[in-house]
Structure 1
Amino acid sequence: MSGSGSGSGGGEPSASASLDWKFSQVFGERAAGEEVQEVDIISAIEFDKSGDHLATGDRGGRVVLFERTDTKDHGINRREMESMDYSVSRHPEFRYKTEFQSHEPEFDYLKSLEIEEKINKIKWCQTANSSLFLLSTNDKTIKFWKVQEKKIKKISEMNMDASISNSTKPNIANGGYADRFSGSLSDDLSFPPGGISSLRLPVVVTSNETSLVARCRRVYAHAHDYHINSISQNSDGETFISADDLRINLWNLEISNQSFNIVDVKPQNMEDLTEVITSAEFHPSHCNTLAYSSSKGSIRLIDLRQSALCDSHAKLFEEQEAPGSRSFFTEIIASISDIKFARDGRYILSRDYMTLKLWDINMDSGPVATFQVHEYLRPKLCDLYENDSIFDKFECCLSGDGKRVATGSYSNLFRVFGCSPGSAEATTLEASKNPTRRQVQTPSRLSKPMSGNVVRRGSESPGVDSNGNSFDFTTKLLHLAWHPSENSIACAAANSLYMYYA
């Protein structure tokens, strides 16, 4: 693994060095010219806390689970390897584990609305007794799944006397009891002529084979009038939140018929509505704290200890507009599509249409860093608005050590930025077997003050990025996830799951 550094090993590169990303695996790779079915497009990706399992959800309502295999080959788990300072000579490898149908298409007869089966979010829950637990949601209904291995029992030996030939044995199934009981009650129910010479009973039952079974433990329904955009489990392991455009509900995993509405931004008159909730997430370690973002580009931190209804926030994070910079598109591109807490809970990463922003929860005056994702698209905002691409919701993620952030773009590109002090790392990769085929060289990071630092390139022609590559609005990398403890990224390009390591 030349030029690579694991987040848990001793070969971590310095803050200013860019990682050398390499292709690892692809699942569901398309052949050239192959048409992708709408139901097969991946709509959610999530690693579990150990990083040993990966889940994807698609527009067809299916959840697919993958399991890490390269650490299992050595007979010891990853944590034992770390304590022994054991270096794995190969990159992370995953294999298909199982899949199940999580959601089906429904129809709301009261509102005359079709409810899609598409999986919006997947969240892993705490494992127990080697079983896997996860939450999945579509627009209206959340489900709690348990996936466990069940041993398949097979009869390997019977108490049959080998000296007795098959011809002398009574056939109980054919011509024996079955025929006699098929007659009337007045028939003779005596034993076959000559009696039964031997009773065939199983004496050895083996269970070498196992089968994975997914079972829906609970269904949390009828609590959201609008489409669910987020679910997030609390660090207490007992509760989770679900958020739609106007409300955030708090659930107990064990209780499916009752939830508590903790945030409600719905005005008395819907004509007064100015912003909606776009994403929500619990703090990774403080069970009383959660954050949610809005379509106006603000992030609110709320404390569940303050009141039962948390309409008033504890902290507000938003960036002030530069004077004279407002346009028709200002509010549209300011809408935050995704937020993520860093693993230590100190920082929040947010993604709006054009940028990634890193916020320190102890400093609400503005972001500590801003990363330009595809600034070369700014002259094309009219085109993006006309084809609705400007409303695409890109996700973001942070590395386990908090030193890097990543998000997707168009033409199946994704970008990785270094966020350590003094880091100038900005890598553009393509979701393909050759991830470094395209390199977009643009100023990627803005530090405060924010105004006046944007570099515009007037020579760009329509449909071409700053490096001369044509970009395609129809191929977009919306979903990606960073391994919790290693420099490994999983990302979705249509129906294909690509994995990279560094």
Structure 2
Amino acid sequence: MVKCPNLWYINCDGKGNEFYGEGQMHEDKTIKLWKVSERDKTIDGYNLKDGNGQMKDPSSITTLHIPVVKPMELMVEASPRRIFANAHSYHINSISVNSDQETYLSADDLRINLWHLEITDQSFNIVDIKPTNMEELTEVITAAEFHPSQCNVFVYSSSKGTIRLCDMRSSALCDHHTKLFEEPEDPTSRSFFSEIISSISDVKFSNNGRYMISRDYLSVKVWDLNMDTKPVECYHVHEYLRSKLCSLYENDCIFDKFECCWNGTDSCLITGSYNNFFRVFDRNTRRDVTLEASRDIAKARTVLRPRKVGTGGKRKKDEIGVDCLDFSRKILHTAWHPQENIIAVAATNNLYIFQEKL
């Protein structure tokens, strides 16, 4: 496995005890604030409760006990704290907590709203690309995120393959961007699918705030915030699918939205692919590896073996042909622990967590 660190699939605050997640029902279009806590001790010897936590009959209590703190198996509990609703008309695709730890943004296809953590019934609209006539709609918002240290700066990506950087100090409504990141299109390689595969499905700032990554259908690109003309790095995720775009369009797979993320030191990237494959790219060595998340290998201390996809007629040992890929098995969601070398990937109804071999 390429040398790299980890991440959890939650957005934590500075204390690591709260995270933000969209409501389980997408139709609900609400945002829920949860508190996540760990408990490894329990109180034993209650006077008014029995072992099951039920209240005792006071007349049956004849002696008094001093409660004792005893160790127990670690338990992680999540409890809902606040619900933020009635602010979105479309599916929420992004939630990002601001570095000021007081506000956060939520984005749907056409609008981005700014919330305060203590106010659940009111938000401020900071981006609105909805046209007066919906027939004139040419693009939608696909992802949005706050800068990790500059609380006034955020970015959002679009289905047209552009990333807009906005500064909330310039105006209350950030319809006019400060910078536009867009890679010039090569006219010689343009096809019917060019606009579809250039749509950006995810954008993430680096931890140091200097760079950001974007994921389109076939690649992951690294952008320098000081250079908006073209990406400084480009990593091909599954270039072998370029010849399969027609069939991918027919089965709607071409519209799949893959996430991407950084490791804690910004030296590695991770993103998903089909057949439950996920790709890890090392920015320092330029090496990459394809790994598989599967129930067959999901056993404790199992070492992941690199996988390869063969494009020729003759396949080498341990290779899988492009035509044999299962497009119904896909890794859309990925996360990396901010300090340790642990990754989490979501495959259909399963969540896999992998740790670097110790």
* 1:19 is the counterpart of 2:3: yes
Of 123, 137, 141, 2:30 maps to 141
* 1:498 is the counterpart of 2:353: yes
TM-score relative to the length of structure 1: 0.61
Larger radius of gyration: 1
What does 1:87-236 align with in structure 2 at a 5 Å threshold? 122-127=10-15, 132-138=17-23, 139=26, 140-148=29-37, 153-155=43-45, 200-208=62-70, 213-236=77-100
Asked whether the equivalents of residues 307 and 319 of structure 2 are also in contact (C-alpha less than 8 Å), the reply is no
Aligned-pair distance for 1:498?
3.4
Specify the code of the residue in structure 2 equivalent to 1:291.
Answer: V
Aligned-pair distance for 1:326?
2.3
Cα gap change, 1:476/1:173 in structure 2, threshold over 3 Å: closer, same or farther?
A: closer
- 2-side partners of 1:438 and 1:214: how far apart? 36
Asked whether the equivalents of residues 376 and 466 of structure 1 are also in contact (C-alpha less than 8 Å), the reply is no
Specify the code of the residue in structure 2 equivalent to 1:123.
Answer: N
- 1-side partners of 2:166 and 2:11: how far apart? 21
Of 272, 296, 315, 1:408 maps to 272
Asked whether the equivalents of residues 258 and 272 of structure 2 are also in contact (C-alpha less than 8 Å), the reply is yes
Cα gap change, 1:173/1:337 in structure 2, threshold over 3 Å: closer, same or farther?
A: closer
What does 1:298-337 align with in structure 2 at a 5 Å threshold? 298-337=162-201
- 2-side partners of 1:497 and 1:246: how far apart? 32
Structure 2: runs of 5+ lacking an equivalent? 49-55, 298-302
Asked whether the equivalents of residues 125 and 135 of structure 1 are also in contact (C-alpha less than 8 Å), the reply is no
What does 1:20-99 align with in structure 2 at a 5 Å threshold? 47=7, 54-55=8-9
TM-score relative to the length of structure 2: 0.83
Asked whether the equivalents of residues 3 and 282 of structure 2 are also in contact (C-alpha less than 8 Å), the reply is no
| Alignment partner, residue 308 of structure 2 | 439
Partner SS for 1:489: strand
* 1:343 is the counterpart of 2:204: no
Aligned-pair distance for 1:152?
5.4
* 1:427 is the counterpart of 2:302: no
Asked whether the equivalents of residues 238 and 253 of structure 1 are also in contact (C-alpha less than 8 Å), the reply is yes
Partner SS for 2:332: coil
- 1-side partners of 2:4 and 2:171: how far apart? 48
Of 222, 228, 233, 1:358 maps to 222
| Alignment partner, residue 38 of structure 1 | none
Partner SS for 2:187: coil
- 2-side partners of 1:243 and 1:219: how far apart? 16
Partner SS for 1:428: strand
Of 116, 119, 130, 1:252 maps to 116
Residues 343-394 of structure 1: CA distance to partner in whole angstroms, max 9, x if unpaired? 1011110000011111001001101111111111111111111111111111
| Alignment partner, residue 53 of structure 2 | none
Residues 397-438 of structure 1: CA distance to partner in whole angstroms, max 9, x if unpaired? 112222221211111111122223xx3312111224353252
Partner SS for 1:364: coil
Asked whether the equivalents of residues 480 and 489 of structure 1 are also in contact (C-alpha less than 8 Å), the reply is yes
Aligned-pair distance for 1:490?
2.0
| Alignment partner, residue 480 of structure 1 | 334
Asked whether the equivalents of residues 349 and 358 of structure 1 are also in contact (C-alpha less than 8 Å), the reply is yes
Asked whether the equivalents of residues 207 and 265 of structure 2 are also in contact (C-alpha less than 8 Å), the reply is yes
Aligned-pair distance for 1:19?
3.4
| Alignment partner, residue 321 of structure 2 | 468
Specify the code of the residue in structure 2 equivalent to 1:481.
Answer: A
- 2-side partners of 1:358 and 1:199: how far apart? 68
Structure 1: runs of 5+ lacking an equivalent? 5-17, 22-45, 48-53, 56-121, 159-171, 178-197, 442-456
Cα gap change, 1:201/1:318 in structure 2, threshold over 3 Å: closer, same or farther?
A: same
Specify the code of the residue in structure 2 equivalent to 1:237.
Answer: Q
Cα gap change, 1:401/1:147 in structure 2, threshold over 3 Å: closer, same or farther?
A: closer
| Alignment partner, residue 79 of structure 1 | none
Residues 443-497 of structure 1: CA distance to partner in whole angstroms, max 9, x if unpaired? xxxxxxxxxxxxxx6x569xxx986362110111111112223433222223141
- 1-side partners of 2:250 and 2:134: how far apart? 26
Partner SS for 1:143: strand
- 2-side partners of 1:425 and 1:199: how far apart? 69
Of 135, 139, 142, 1:275 maps to 139
- 1-side partners of 2:343 and 2:44: how far apart? 41
Cα gap change, 1:203/1:20 in structure 2, threshold over 3 Å: closer, same or farther?
A: closer
- 1-side partners of 2:216 and 2:183: how far apart? 12
- 2-side partners of 1:148 and 1:406: how far apart? 27
Asked whether the equivalents of residues 342 and 349 of structure 1 are also in contact (C-alpha less than 8 Å), the reply is yes
Partner SS for 2:144: strand
Asked whether the equivalents of residues 247 and 266 of structure 1 are also in contact (C-alpha less than 8 Å), the reply is yes
Specify the code of the residue in structure 2 equivalent to 1:145.
Answer: W
* 1:381 is the counterpart of 2:270: no
Residues 57-113 of structure 1: CA distance to partner in whole angstroms, max 9, x if unpaired? xxxxxxxxxxxxxxxxxxxxxxxxxxxxxxxxxxxxxxxxxxxxxxxxxxxxxxxxx
Partner SS for 1:257: coil
Aligned-pair distance for 1:342?
0.6
Asked whether the equivalents of residues 431 and 498 of structure 1 are also in contact (C-alpha less than 8 Å), the reply is no
Cα gap change, 1:413/1:204 in structure 2, threshold over 3 Å: closer, same or farther?
A: same
Cα gap change, 1:156/1:273 in structure 2, threshold over 3 Å: closer, same or farther?
A: closer
Partner SS for 1:383: helix
Q: Aligned-residue CA RMSD in angstroms? A: 3.0
Aligned-pair distance for 1:500?
3.6
| Alignment partner, residue 66 of structure 1 | none
